[in-house]
């Protein structure tokens, strides 16, 4: 997951509004914890009850990115549409966002983490990532 996602970009985007509240050490620690947090989240969300492999559609260009539509079959017979937004960064294709049922995951995490930072500070966010990660 660490190689597949552009976690440098994710880290900067997610804490942009609160960057002054983070020391360099805390930014490095967030970058280190984010892959485990995301892996745990994906295991809990996508692995739960899946009996079939997802269907991957034809990639489509969107500005300087490529969007890869995927459909995850649900237990209840309803499929979950997921679009992976991919960009070439330093010669490697990396995920820069995931759209789940039309909602930007990176934007959702930015809002969620911002609320954690407001309540518990930068160290509180790091604790949150550590607790929820694999």
Q: HEC profile for the chain?
A: CCCCECHHHHHHHHHHHHHHHCCHHHHHHHHHHHHHHHHHHHHHHHCCCCCCCCEECCCEEECCEEEEEEEECCCCCCCEEEEEEEEEECCEEEEEEEEECCEEHHHHHHHHHHHHHHHHHHHHHHHHHHHHCC
Lowest pLDDT segment from 59-63, 69-73, 75-79, 124-128: 59-63
pLDDT at 82: 86
Work out the mean pLDDT of the chain and round it to a whole number: 85
Higher pLDDT, 87 or 62: 87
Does pLDDT of 13 surpass 80? yes
Higher pLDDT, 102 or 24: 24
Mean pLDDT of 57-64: 67
Mean pLDDT of 2-18: 91
Does pLDDT of 128 surpass 70? yes
Lowest pLDDT segment from 18-27, 64-73, 81-90: 64-73
Mean pLDDT of 108-125: 95
Confidence bin at 67 (pLDDT 50/70/90):
confident
Confidence bin at 47 (pLDDT 50/70/90):
low
């Amino acid at each position: 997951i660490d190689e597949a996602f552009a976690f440098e970009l994710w880290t900067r985007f997610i804490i942009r509004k609160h960057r002054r509240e983070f020391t360099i050490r805390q930014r490095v620690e967030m970058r280190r914890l984010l892959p485990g947090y995301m892996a745990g989240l994906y295991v809990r969300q996508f692995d739960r009850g899946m009996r079939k492999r997802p269907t991957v559609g034809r990639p489509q260009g969107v500005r300087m990115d490529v969007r890869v539509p995927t459909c995850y079959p649900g237990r209840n017979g309803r499929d979950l549409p997921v679009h992976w937004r991919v960009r070439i960064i330093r010669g490697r294709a990396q995920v820069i966002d995931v759209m789940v049922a039309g909602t930007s995951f990176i934007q959702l995490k930015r809002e969620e983490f911002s609320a954690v930072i407001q309540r518990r500070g930068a160290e509180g966010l790091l604790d949150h990532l550590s607790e929820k990660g694999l």
